Every structure is written in C-alpha cells, then in structure tokens.
C-alpha cells in the first residue's frame, strides 16, 4: 500500500528511469552544425529537442567545451536528453556550469536562448553552478 507521504517521488520517477537506462555523457567542442568533436578526435553528430539545439547553436557558446548527457544511437551519433533534464553543461576554468539565460529587467530565467517572454529583450547568457537552486 502506498502512503500519501511516499507520492512525492512520482514527479521525479521518469527522469530517474531515463538516467538508469544507460544515460551517458560526451564532452567536446562544437565542430560545425550539430556536431561535437571529442577529445579523442572523433566527430559525433548530435540530435535533440528544439531547445537543446538552440543552445548548441548560440554564438555566445561557439568556443566553449560542452558536456552533454544523453545516449549514443550509433557509434557516431549522440542523442541529447530533453532540455528539462538539464543535459547541457559548459566547462570553464576546470569547473562545470549549467547553461541558462537570464533577463535582468524581469528576473526571469530560461534554459534556451531567445527573447524574454515578458519584456521581449534578448536574454543574457548566465552560466551557473549546477549545485545552485534553479530559481
């Protein structure tokens, strides 16, 4: 019998199941449209949802080293986990940061580049420590 106090687990269950099914991580630099060059020189074709591909195509991140979570669909193809699973990171100075975007005017955080949903100003790139809360 499931008690009400045990139901808090349900919203996180799908993400936990996906991670347990063999989620992997790749690390490298963007090498052309939706391609990542790994440290060993291999080039991997990337696929993902629209929001994830938007982050990878952001010019402000063109020279960054990415860490992407997801899974290999073939030896040279990698599918990025959906954006809501926080699967895109950047490495700077030996530290890992989660990629976010911030509107100073409206104090709104987003996970993809673009205009603020409120004031329509362009959102600023805001790399954050993954240990911080999302608010």
Cross-strand pairs, 98? 89, 128
Asked whether residue 119 is assigned to any structural domain, the reply reads: yes
Q: Does the predicted TM-score (pTM) go above 0.85?
A: no
CATH number at residue 38: 2.40.50
Could you list the residue range(s) of the whole structural domain that residue 24 is in? 10-128
Asked whether residue 22 is assigned to any structural domain, the reply reads: yes
Q: What's the domain count of the chain?
A: 1
Asked whether residue 134 is assigned to any structural domain, the reply reads: no
pLDDT digits (tens, 9 = 90+) for 27-82: 999 998 899 999 999 999 999 999 999 999 999 999 999 999 999 999 999 999 99
The predicted pLDDT at position 49 comes to 95
DSSP 80-120: EPPGGG--EEEEETTEEEEEEEEETTTTEEESS-SB-TTT-
């Amino acid at each position: 019998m499931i008690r009400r106090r045990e139901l808090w687990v349900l919203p996180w269950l799908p993400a936990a199941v996906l991670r347990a099914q063999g989620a992997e991580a790749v690390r490298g630099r963007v090498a052309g449209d939706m391609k990542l060059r790994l440290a060993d020189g291999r080039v991997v074709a990337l696929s993902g949802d629209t929001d994830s591909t938007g982050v990878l195509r952001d010019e402000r991140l063109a020279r960054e080293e990415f860490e992407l979570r997801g899974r290999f669909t073939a030896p040279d193809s990698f599918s990025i986990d959906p954006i809501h699973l926080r699967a895109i990171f950047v490495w700077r100075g030996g530290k890992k940061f989660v990629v976010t975007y911030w509107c100073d005017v409206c104090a709104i955080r987003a996970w993809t580049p673009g205009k603020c949903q409120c004031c329509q100003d362009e959102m600023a790139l805001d790399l954050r420590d993954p240990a911080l809360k999302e608010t």
